[in-house]
Amino acid sequence: MKRTIFVLLAVLSLSACKSQYELVREGNDVEAKYKLAFEYFNSGKYTRAAELFENMSVLTNGTAREDTVQYYWGLSNYRASDYITAESNFKNFLDKFPVSPFSESAEFLRVDCLYKATYRWELDQTPTYTALAAIYEYKAAHPGSVHAAACTRMQEDLDWRLDKKAFENAKIYYTMEDYLAARVALRNVLKDDADNQFREEILYYTAMSSYKYADMSVPARQRERFLVFEDDYLNFIGEYPESRHRAELDRLHERVRKK
Report residue 156's pLDDT band, with 50, 70 and 90 as the boundaries.
very high
43-67 pLDDT, tens digit per residue, is 999 999 999 999 999 999 999 999 9
pLDDT of residue 3: 56
Q: Where are the domains of the chain?
A: 16-117
Query: For residues 145 and 156, is the Cβ–Cβ distance under 8 A?
Result: no
So what's the pLDDT on residue 145?
Answer: 94
pLDDT of 81? 97
- Tabulate helix, strand, coil % of the chain (nearest 5): 80, 0, 20
Question: Does position 255 have pLDDT exceeding 70, yes or no?
Answer: yes
CA distance 168 to 140: 31
Amino acid at 169: N
Q: Tell me which range, 11-15, 17-21, 193-197, is most confidently predicted by mean pLDDT.
A: 193-197
Q: Residue 218: pLDDT band by 50, 70, 90 thresholds?
A: very high
Please provide the average confidence, as pLDDT, over all residues in the chain: 92
CATH classification of 16-117 is 1.25.40.10, yes or no?
A: yes
Express each pLDDT in 81-130 by its tens digit. 999 999 999 999 999 999 999 999 999 999 999 999 999 999 999 999 99
The number of angstroms, rounded, from the C-alpha of 109 to the middle of its chain's C-alpha atoms is 13
User: Which one, of 161, 188, 186, lies nearest residue 175 by Cα?
Assistant: 186
Interval 216-243 mean pLDDT: 97
Decide: 64 and 72 in contact? Cβ < 8 Å.
no
pTM of the model: 0.84
